[in-house]
Amino acid sequence: MEVESMRDYNQYIAELNKAEDPLIAEMEQIALAQKIPIMDRSGIDTFIGLLRIQRPNAILEIGSAIGYSAIRMASALRDAFVTTIERDTDRYNMAVEFISRSTVSEHIRIIEGDALLIEEKQLPDMEYDALFIDAAKGQYKKFFEKYAVLVKQGGIVYCDNMFMHGSVLLPDEELPKRNRTMIRNLKEFTKWIMTHPNYETTLLPVGDGILIAIKK
C-alpha cells in the first residue's frame, strides 16, 4: 500500500513537473527507447531542487550518458559551469549533439574518457562546489577517492542509484551472480561514507536513492 502511494505521488509530481523543453522531452524518449540509464524524474527533480538550494558554481559530473542531467543542471543554475565525463563513445557523441542543441552549451564541458584514468589537468577547474557521481555503481568509492579531494570545504558530493533498483535490500546470498560484486561494493561504499568523519552524509529515499555528503 505504501509503495503504491509513493508511486502515485511520484506520478503526481512528474505531471506537475512535465518537461516544457522539447529537447528534454526528446532526450527522455530516446533514453527510454534505447534503454540508456538517465536519472529518473523523481530523482532528477529532487536533485535539481537540492542544487537550487546549494547554488554551486562549479559542478563536476562523473557519468554523462547522453547529457541529460548535465543539461538539466546547467539549465536550472544559469551561473553554474558543468564539467561532465563519459567513457562510452556512442553516448559521448549523443551528449555532444544534445548539448550543442541546448541553450546551455556555453555552460557545459564534456570530456570523453574513463573518469578513473583521466588526469586532473584535463579538467577546467581545480575546485568544485558539487561533485555528482552517477557512473559505474561498483566503483563509487574509487570515484569518490579520486574526485572528492577537488570538492571545496562545505561543498557537496551527490551520488545516484544508491538503492540499485532495490538490489541493496536483498540478502547477500540472494544477490544475482552477475551484479554481486557491484552491489557489494556499492553497499560497502555506502557504509563507509555514512560514517566518514570528514563528511555529513544523508541518504534520501527518492528516485533510486540519492546520497548527499557535505564536506566538513
Ligand X SMILES: C[S@@+](CC[C@H](N)C(=O)[O-])C[C@H]1O[C@@H](n2cnc3c(N)ncnc32)[C@H](O)[C@@H]1O
Binding residues for ligand X, rule: CB under 6 A, are: 37-39, 62-65, 68-69, 85-88, 91, 114-116, 134-136
Residue number, 29 or 198, with CB nearest to ligand X: 29
Residue number, 135 or 151, with CB nearest to ligand X: 135
Residue number, 122 or 198, with CB nearest to ligand X: 122
Dist CA 209 CA 189 (whole Å): 14
- Least separation, in Å, of the C-beta of 53 and ligand X? 19
Dist CA 132 CA 185 (whole Å): 18
Dist CA 211 CA 193 (whole Å): 9
Residue number, 11 or 34, with CB nearest to ligand X: 34
Residues in the chain: 216
- Least separation, in Å, of the C-beta of 95 and ligand X? 9
Residue number, 48 or 203, with CB nearest to ligand X: 48
- Least separation, in Å, of the C-beta of 79 and ligand X? 21
- Least separation, in Å, of the C-beta of 6 and ligand X? 20
107 by Cβ neighbours in 10 Å (0-12 / 13-18 / 19+) ranks as buried
Of all residues in the shown chain, the one whose CB is closest to ligand X is 63
> What does the H/E/C string look like for 166-210?
HHHHCCHHHCCHHHHHHHHHHHHHHHHHHCCCCEEEEEECCCCCE
- Least separation, in Å, of the C-beta of 15 and ligand X? 20
51 contacts 128 by C-beta, under 8 angstroms: no
123 contacts 83 by C-beta, under 8 angstroms: yes
